[in-house]
Amino acid sequence: MSTQTAVPTVPSFIADRWWSPAEGSSTREVLDATTGEALAHYGADGLDLAAVLEHGRTVGQRALGALTLHERALKLKELAVYLNDRREELYALSNRTGATKGDNQFDIDGGIGVLFTLSSKGRRELPNANVIQDGGIEPLSRDGSFIGTHVYTRIPGVAVQVNAFNFPVWGMLEKFAPAFIAGVPTVVKPATPTGYVTEAAVRLMVESGLLPDGSLQLISGSARGLLDAMDYRDLMAFTGSAATAQGLKAHPNVISGGVRFTAETDSLNAAILGPDAVEGTPEFEAFVKSVVTEMTVKAGQKCTAIRRAIVPETQRAAVARAIGARLDSRVVVGSPQAEGVTMGALASMEQLQDVRSAVEDMVAAGGELAYGSLDAPTVRTASGAEAVVEKGAFMSPVVLTWADAENDVVHSREAFGPVASLIGYTDVADAVRLAARGSGSLVATVCTNDPEVARELTTGIAGHHGRVHLLNRETAKTSTGHGAPVPHLVHGGPGRAGGGEELGGIRSVKHHMQRTALQGSPNLLTAVTGVWQTGADRRIAGSEAFGAEPGAVHPFRKSLAELRIGDALASDLRQVTQEDITAFAQTTGDTFYAHVDQKAAEANPFFPGTVAHGYLLVSWGAGLFVEPAPGPVLANYGLESLRFITPVAAGDSIRITLTAKKITPRVTDEYGEVAWDAIIHNQDDEIVATYDVLTLVEKEDTLYRNWTS
């Protein structure tokens, strides 16, 4: 700690205003990782943390709640575009953390990529509402008047996101994006050593004018009392070391106060080279490349980096040689500003010291240095000269090779830098056992071209991992890599990795929501979920014989402005003859015996004799519900959940009932999606088929009105 000097203090963004600690209060200094120059001060003394949380719970909840899931998801895309246009500002600052141009692609471009991906997944996979129905309906009474389902609604508090130093932008955005879509305000607490890059990203997000009030607050500096002010309404998403996570998890407000706490912590990730992948195979080459990439991207300061390369014992020396050769030919350590540098500095001198002492412990325990050393390396400086930079947090990549694969230290000590260990296995079962000794990891690579080895290794280790990355000659060029979590898939792992799996995909949005069981009548469940439930009221047009109200309008004549959940159409019956079935068989070529051969069909346990094709019935269904004239319905884009239930024989009749079930106006277009509950009955009111018809419908009936006028 020190008192403030001319070096700027990184401000916090609190209650929609920038905030700095009072003059003279104690602050912590952060240095440029590549030069040791003083860069910034941090201080959060005097910050009323309870008021920060309350601002999110009140102002933030209100402002986010005024938008739907889709509207919030769209804002993320707009934010992504805004940040994308201003990436250079962030790159320049990020260089001072020791990050190279390539590292910035992971952190800054990767973070912006999360916004784009979650924005589009959110609008594709979630309703344009604020309630998400989870799963189907459970009938709870004989007559269908009492039913049950589950719904997700956002949690009523704030998402406090405590992040590690290694990804100041991606680390924030991968958590902010799902919280924002869910409608939960974020309070982000980046790690002090690189928090000035997070602050710059937050500043841009604020300047964009896109953030609703209270939806994002930033605490720059240590905020140790945060959990004291949190309660069951809130969640804390922690990323950092296992030791810090354990301390936080033991807080009374987590143990008995109901704060939802999840952690992404450190992890001794493995990469396993299959027994088939010997020197000279494309897999061997891909494996070596992957280990070197993981050692050097972000100078190995990646929670997902390969720490343990587990290889056939007979290949250990060859792998060590190949990794060494690739490091020699590919890696230039130095200032990120210098031309040709491929690996920058660690984030701070403290971090460098931590990594050095971890390597010393590993060497003392029996690890042999196969590549690199702990001496300060000669590096390429910003001016292009080669020199030892005393105050720069530079380190040579280090490969340790272990004669004893069972040594506890290789399976338990994390060196959070450009360090990897090589251990040998005897057979596949041994490799599985060794990988599991990491006690739960974020990710493992299985590198093999043998399908049986891939199956055996993957099923053996999957229960210990959040992600398994299969690498072979087919994916060597296209894989997104061992160390890069993708926003579509789980990021998190069991055991030592923190026990989480809440990041990645739409599950990350639902992580910020409460799942509630809901019981009641179909009408009230329809009102709450916004989805028509079987048994709820309908306004039926079409055939009065099947319940239509006189004068009711065909729902295909209604734009989204007029259409309501429960608007329906009932058709008349139409009889199916053997001639229809035969003609359909001939025109489509589907002459399966059950449609054309009476005797053979009778022998089939499911059919009374020849029966109509299911697709004939679905096609006729369309003919029975269509409203052929141009109108607001623009297209049919598919069917979902189609089931054929009762077969239809020649002489039977069918009718269809179509009900507007789910209406999803698009925030970016003049139309939206309507899912229609379709049910085909026969003349005896037995259910023949059920499915959802998916259509695109105009918000206002303008296209054809304009065209015809």
Name the site residues for ligand NAP (rule: CB under 6 A). Answer: 162-166, 189, 191-192, 222, 224, 239-241, 244, 247-248, 264-266, 303, 414, 416, 442, 497-498
Q: Which residues contact 600 (CB under 8 A, 6 or more apart)?
A: 593, 594
Q: Toward ligand NAP, which CB reaches closer, 241 or 523?
A: 241
Q: Taken in order 141, 147, 149, 152, is the CA torsion positive or negative?
A: negative
Cβ atoms of 594 and 634 closer than 8 Å: no
Of 619, 627, 656, the closest CA to residue 559 belongs to: 627
Residue 624 Cα distances to 36, 276, 531, 588, 618, angstroms: 76, 60, 24, 20, 10
Nearer to ligand NAP, 269 or 458 (CB): 269
> Nearest approach, Cβ of 245 to ligand NAP (angstroms)?
7
Cβ-based neighbours of 154, under 8 Å, separated by 6 or more: 61, 64, 65, 130, 182, 183, 184, 512, 513, 514
**Is the separation of the CB atoms in 466 and 443 below 8 Å?**
yes
Q: Which residue has the tokens 């800054």?
A: 108
Find the angle CA(211)-CA(214)-CA(216) to the nearest 5 degrees.
60
**Structure-block tokens of residue 634:** 């623009």
The three-state secondary structure class of 649 is strand
Q: What is the 3-state secondary structure (H, E, C) of 197-249?
A: HHHHHHHHHHHCCCCCCCCEEECCCCCCCHHHHCCCCCEEEEECCHHHHHHHH
- Give the DSSP letter of residue 81: H
Tokens of 112: 């912006």
- Name the minimum Å distance from CB 286 to ligand NAP: 24
Q: Find the catalytic residue in 174, 283, 303, 447.
A: 303
Distance in angstroms (rounded) separating the CA atoms of residues 595 and 612: 6
DSSP string, 543-564: -GGGTPPTTPPPGGG--TTT--
Distance CA 390, CA 394 (A): 9
Question: Identity (one letter) of the amino acid at 600?
Answer: A
Q: Which residues contact 702 (CB under 8 A, 6 or more apart)?
A: 670
- Within 10 angstroms of residue 301's Cβ, the number of other Cβ atoms is 25
Residue 668 burial by Cβ neighbours in a 10 Å radius (0-12, 13-18, 19+): exposed
Q: Nearest distance from residue 166's CB to ligand NAP, in Å? A: 5
With contact defined as beta carbons under 8 Å apart, do 220 and 11 qualify?
yes
| Residue 267 C-beta: closest distance to ligand NAP, Å | 6
Characterize 177-205 residue by residue with b for buried, 16 or more Cβ atoms within 10 angstroms of its Cβ, and e for exposed.
bbbbbbbbbbbbbbbbbbbbbbbbbbbbb
Query: Which residue in the shown chain puts its C-beta closest to ligand NAP?
Result: 240
**303 carries an active-site annotation:** yes
Least Å distance, CB 266 to ligand NAP, is: 3
| Catalytic site residue from 174, 199, 264, 502 | 264
- Active-site annotation holds for 264: yes
Give the active site residues: 264, 303
